[in-house]
Structure 1
Amino acid sequence: MAETVSPLPDRRRNLYRSDLAEAGLEGVVPADRYVTGAPARICQPIVPARLTPNHAKPRDTEFLMGEPVLVFDRADNWAWVKSQRDGYVGYIDQGALIFGAPAPTHRVNTIRSHLYPAPELKRFALAALPYGALVTVIDRTEKWAKLADGQWVALAHLVPASQTAKDPVAEAMRFLGVPYLWGGRSSDGMDCSALVQFALEACGIPCPRDSDMQEAELGSAIDRADLQATDLIFWPGHVGMMMDRDRMIHANATDMAVRVWTLSDFEAHIIRIEGHEIRTIKRL
């Protein structure tokens, strides 16, 4: 009888190479050494993460300001990290990390919020934080919040980090018109699974990063005749969220943006263009 070979763990959420692996994979994958990562946070607004340390390779996801990661290796200006939010693994620029930062107190709750060197509207904005970025407020005025790094942001654009919303569809609608970007996970550009992840996590519902993970791990399969708002529609390589029985919001490469489609128009489109049909409908 032939020996059964177990498949290697998914590299998107399991950190390993021949010379190094995360400690939890000891006995699962061979490596020269096993490491417990050092905690750090992202200190830049939007940071591309790649599966290999090569700027010519496409981004596989993005990490946002304040998000916690574990750092397993640093070399040649690259850091090999694992998200403590959704478990995604990637190589990022070392300069995007800060160690020993205070815990975030607030979250950006608007599509984009500018950072200023002082609490003055006419000062030149230094950068912009995306929706979902985590910040530490150390002081405030009536309209401004001072962050731990000394920069200022509009107080009205922040909510407590622990605050959750109630309606995933309303959260998804915030991003209507945002450009489609493969691997994007910000209001500058996002892909289909990032839209779903943002909408659910804003409501306190943990959500994996990619559409195949979401299809496998979220909710329970239902019959199409029972559709309602927040149901997730899956087909190969894509996901959308129902707004009601007839309309769906999704980030898509046809419009190159987040758009609302009727489910009937969408289904006719994927059959005609991609040769696919709806594969799964999940209810949270």
Structure 2
Amino acid sequence: MMKKLTLICLILIAISFFGSGVAVESLELAKKQIELFKKEFRIEPREMVFNVTVGSEDGKLTIFGEVSEPKLKESLLERLRTALQVSFEDKIKLLPDESVGEKIFAVVNVDVVNLMDAPRRTLQKNAVTQARMGDILKLFKRDGDWYLVQMEDSYIGWIDGSKIVSMSEIELKEYLSSPFVLIVSKFAQLYSEMDPKSVVEAKLVQGTTLPCVEVKGEWLKLRLPDQREFFVRSSDAQLFESRHEVFATQKGTEYIIEIAKQHLGLPYLWAGTTSYGFDCSGFTQFCFKMAGYFLRRDADMQYEQGEPVLDRKDLKMGDLVFFQTYKAGPSHVGIYIGNMKYIHSGSKGVAINSFDPNDPDYSADLDRKYIGARRIIQR
């Protein structure tokens, strides 16, 4: 009798969990297909949102979740239709969701801001990357005063809504309609007037891009995302006809190394991407971007770019050199500068080390941990 009751209970639990109209085989097949899809399309959660699960609702097989790329959702649903051969309910939410509203873009409105691994976190250890004033973000969803956003390099994180100015597509187009400046000095002081005595507290970091509304001799008048206007010295910035042109010209390896050396001695900063402090891949990404080359955000991502350099004796200036440090695979990266030397942002900050045991800058530890190089600039 007890065995029969136990069996009945198990059946009832299975029905309530899976739904009376959904076969366990269909659920398991759907789960397997989703996992295969993620591998085939190389879903990278640091660069896209793809949270998809399968279950039962009202007795029907249902696909739940949220996805940031429309084409990925379409491809997944087509895969499932072909593989399952049964009908299912599509409840995958395409981001941005309704919590964002019509203003699905934003522009950073502070000199530097951390993007975090979850909303309402403020410790540096929870930062995943940083954005500069003027950086453009896609808004995916909102949690209170925080937003899940995607940066222009595709990296994803949570940002405090008080640090950004939200814009509709029309408003963003208007924002982009002016000439733009690129801050080329490590730091550019802001002034309220065209007067050296009118210093304001804020500074802009190297790599910042903002609209320029007026040029007057040695002064450039900039408009911030919140419409405030300030001046910078023209010696601290470079003027372009449009924002699109700012990083459109590739300047070569010498310029990359010149930018990198400007930051020698700068302390290491977890998730750092600016002149206040860099992590290793934030440093390489920044130096290359200033010269018109675009790297992905993290060391293991950068290891997938360019062409492999199979022998260390074949290294050329500007190659990325990779090391296996605190975890398996490429977890540290630097820039080869010639003569067996490389520059990187490590635990001691931005420094130059060498692969040559006879060089005073030789690092035996990093030499042991070297795992390969990638050539981004073909020449």
Q: Same fold (TM over 0.5)?
A: yes
2:370 maps to 1:282:
no
1:225-283: CA deviation from partner (whole Å, max 9, x where unpaired): 11221111101210011111321100001x1x111112235551236xxxx52111122
1:266 & 1:247 partners in 2: Cα distance?
8
1:270 & 1:220 partners in 2: Cα distance?
19
Cα–Cα, structure 1 residues 68 and 179, in superposed 2: closer, same or farther, change >3 Å? same
Q: The residue matched to 1:11 in structure 2 has which SS?
A: coil
Cα–Cα, structure 1 residues 80 and 153, in superposed 2: closer, same or farther, change >3 Å? same
1:17 & 1:120 partners in 2: Cα distance?
53
Task: Tell me by how many angstroms 1:153 deviates.
Answer: 1.3
Match of 1:150 among 211, 216, 229: 229
Is the CA contact 1:267–1:277 (under 8 Å) kept in the aligned structure 2? no
1:222 & 1:168 partners in 2: Cα distance?
22
TM-score, structure 1 length as denominator? 0.88
1:32 & 1:44 partners in 2: Cα distance?
34
Comparing 116-125 and 87-96, the one that deviates more: 116-125
Task: Tell me by how many angstroms 1:32 deviates.
Answer: 4.1
Match of 1:193 among 249, 274, 281: 281
Q: The residue matched to 1:178 in structure 2 has which SS?
A: coil
Match of 1:48 among 89, 110, 114: 114
1:246 & 1:125 partners in 2: Cα distance?
44
1:37-57: CA deviation from partner (whole Å, max 9, x where unpaired): 822221211110012113245
1:243 alignment partner AA:
I
Is the CA contact 1:169–1:243 (under 8 Å) kept in the aligned structure 2? yes
TM-score, structure 2 length as denominator? 0.67
Q: The residue matched to 1:193 in structure 2 has which SS?
A: helix
What are the residue-to-residue correspondences of 1:51-70 with 2, within 5 Å? 51-57=117-123, 58-70=126-138
2:148 maps to 1:72:
no
Is the CA contact 2:193–2:231 (under 8 Å) kept in the aligned structure 1? yes
Cα–Cα, structure 1 residues 74 and 123, in superposed 2: closer, same or farther, change >3 Å? same
Match of 2:93 among 33, 47, 61: 33
Is the CA contact 1:145–1:153 (under 8 Å) kept in the aligned structure 2? yes
2:149 & 2:163 partners in 1: Cα distance?
11
1:95 match? 162
1:119-148: CA deviation from partner (whole Å, max 9, x where unpaired): 221223231111111111101221211112
Q: State the superposition RMSD in angstroms.
A: 2.4
Is the CA contact 1:65–1:129 (under 8 Å) kept in the aligned structure 2? yes
Match of 1:268 among 347, 356, 364: 364
What are the residue-to-residue correspondences of 1:67-216 with 2, within 5 Å? 67-83=135-151, 85-98=152-165, 99=167, 100-101=171-172, 102-103=175-176, 105-148=180-223, 149-159=228-238, 160=240, 161=243, 162-163=245-246, 164=249, 165-166=251-252, 167-216=255-304
Is the CA contact 1:21–1:31 (under 8 Å) kept in the aligned structure 2? no
Task: Tell me by how many angstroms 1:113 deviates.
Answer: 0.7
By relative contact order (CA 8 Å, sep 6+), the higher-ranking structure is 1
Is the CA contact 1:17–1:31 (under 8 Å) kept in the aligned structure 2? no
1:68 & 1:263 partners in 2: Cα distance?
39
1:54-112: CA deviation from partner (whole Å, max 9, x where unpaired): 324521100111111111122311011101x2100010011222222512611111111
Comparing 186-195 and 74-83, the one that deviates more: 74-83
Cα–Cα, structure 1 residues 268 and 133, in superposed 2: closer, same or farther, change >3 Å? same
Structure showing the higher helix proportion among its residues? 2
2:48 maps to 1:14:
yes
Is the CA contact 1:220–1:282 (under 8 Å) kept in the aligned structure 2? yes
1:250 match? 344
1:72 & 1:112 partners in 2: Cα distance?
31
Give 5+ residue unaligned stretches, structure 2: 1-28, 53-64, 78-89, 98-103, 325-330
Task: Tell me by how many angstroms 1:197 deviates.
Answer: 0.8
Give 5+ residue unaligned stretches, structure 1: none
Comparing 105-114 and 116-125, the one that deviates more: 116-125
Task: Tell me by how many angstroms 1:193 deviates.
Answer: 0.7
1:22 alignment partner AA:
S
2:335 match? 241
Comparing 160-169 and 194-203, the one that deviates more: 160-169
